[in-house]
Each structure stands twice: as structure tokens, then as C-alpha cells.
Structure 1
């Protein structure tokens, strides 16, 4: 009885070491490659927007298409902070109380405000200038991407660690100041 039990345990260990562990390592390497691809894609998209000063539906579609090449699904968050200078007053109700200084205020625009400009409800051509989202030099632009599916590496990790949940394995966060207005 003990001899057959030790043989079964040895066979189980052999299967684990010969098949499961290499497959898990290959899945982890695939996740690392996906991470690199996503980071490079986000970086090139953000740098293009910062250099041009606008986003077009074609640019955004190409960005999403490059992300989908990894085989994962993603949640993409776009943030545009527009710098605006507002005159400072001693008493906001009295315009004669101008202090001679200006305050910098950042107005935030996110997916909810940007996507209706890129994809309006009407049948405007994709090349129409009204479908461009414009940014101003000095604004801040940032994109954050997180995978929404369970990657093969995450599935293996959860299985090998007996159900311990893993965090999002493929994420990217990149942004900076808009450098140019090329429109």
C-alpha cells in the first residue's frame, strides 16, 4: 500500500515538474511580453498626442488595435488637464478688487468628455476635423491601461497557489506635458 502511494506521489510530482511548471513559466513570459508591448504602445500613443496636440479617431483606433494584439482586453483611462489662468480678486464679487496676480487652475477632462468628441452620435466622416480632440501647449495628458481579463499566467499562478487571487498583471501608466499644437 505504501509502495503504491509513493509511486503515485512520484508520478504526480513528475507531471508537475515536467509539464505544469514549464507551462506556467511560459505563460508568465507571455505576460511579461504583453506588459512590454502595452507599455511601448501607451508610450508611443501618448508621445504622439503630446507632440501633435490633438487626438483623432484614427490615432485612438490604432492604439486600441495595437493593445488588442496581446490577446488581452483592457480598460483605458485618458486624462487631460487643461491649465487655465484666472485673475485673483480680494473679493470675487467686486471686480475692482483685482490683486494684479493670476491663479493657475487645472480643469480635468476624462473619457466621458473626450470620447463623445472622437465618436459623436452623428454620421460624420472619420476624417472630419470636428472629430479631433484638441489640447493646448502646456496641458497635461496621461493614459492609464489595465487588463480586465485573467491572463494565462494569472490562471496558472492562482492554480499553483491554491486559489490566491492575483492582481492585474498587465498595466501601463504614462503621461506628460503637451509640447506642441500641430493643427
Structure 2
């Protein structure tokens, strides 16, 4: 009976000395990745807001920086175009939405344009969410035995376009 107590003591010691710090550092790594993705996303969106356009080089540079974290991300880009429409006695303000398919089609245009232009007052919003297991998710999955939510890294950032890209 005394040997069972020793074995249990050794297992608890191993858990406390090794597994809990590993889990802590894995979760900390996820937090660092979250901060990095937020920083890169805000830099990209702010550049677009200042310049008034997205080109192929800007977008691919942004993707390289994100994928440098060794995670796979889903990026949803939305452009809200600000438009006034005349009515009988007044004007109404509308926003038309263009999604990443429309934007990337223009950026990767074979005709040589390779640029998507915005107008001053339009709004750009990016939603970034990881779709692969992070180290923290993997460690928690191994220790607890359940699969936590995969979307540990989520960023939403956007703003109004300040300049027109002409």
C-alpha cells in the first residue's frame, strides 16, 4: 500500500513540475500570437486607410506575416462603400458591401491593374480567425482529453478610409 502512495506522489509531482508549466507556456504563446496578429492586422488596415487602396504586394506581405506564426487563418475582408442616393426631396446615405471575393478578384486581376481602390469615407473591416490548432489548444486537448474551440486567435479591426487612391 505504501508503494501505491509513492507512485501517486511521483505522478502528482510530474504533473506539477512539468505539465502545468508546459501548458502555461503554450497558452502564453497563443496570447503572443494573438497580439502579433492584432498588430499586423491593424498595421495593414491603417496602411490601406491612409493610402486608399490595396495592392497585391501589400496583401501578400500581410499574409506572409500572419502565416509566419505557423497557424492557418480565415480572413474576412469587407468594404462598405458610402453612397448618397437622391430621393424626391432629400438624399439618403447608403452603404454597399463588397466582400473579400470582390476585393481579391480586383487585386489579383490578370489585366495588370492589381489594385483595389477605395473612396474617402468608405469603411474597411477585417476579421481574422485561426482555423488550425494552436500549441495551447493541442496541450489542453492532450491533458484534458476534450477538444476546445479552435478559434483561439480572433481579431476584428477596421476603420474609415482617409484618402483616395488616385
Residue 147 of structure 1: aligned partner: 130
Taking the aligned partners of 1:149 and 1:103, their CA distance within structure 2 comes to: 43
Q: What is the CA distance between 1:166 and its match in structure 2? A: 3.0
The answer (yes or no) to whether the contact 1:24–1:156 under 8 Å persists in 2 is yes
Taking the aligned partners of 1:166 and 1:13, their CA distance within structure 2 comes to: 27
Residue 14 of structure 1: aligned partner: 13
After TM superposition, the runs of 4+ consecutive aligned structure 1 residues lying more than 4 A away are: none
Residue 49 of structure 1: aligned partner: 48
- Report how many residues are paired: 166
Q: Map 1:72-151; keep pairs closer than 5 Å.
A: 72-88=71-87, 98-99=88-89, 101-120=90-109, 122=110, 124=111, 128=112, 130-151=113-134
Partner secondary structure for residue 179 of structure 1: coil
Superposed CA offset, 1:63-85 (max 9, x none): 00110111111001100000111
Q: What is the CA distance between 1:164 and its match in structure 2? A: 5.0
Residue 32 of structure 2: aligned partner: 33
Larger Rg over CA atoms: 1
Taking the aligned partners of 2:4 and 2:96, their CA distance within structure 1 comes to: 68
- Provide the aligned C-alpha RMSD in A: 1.3
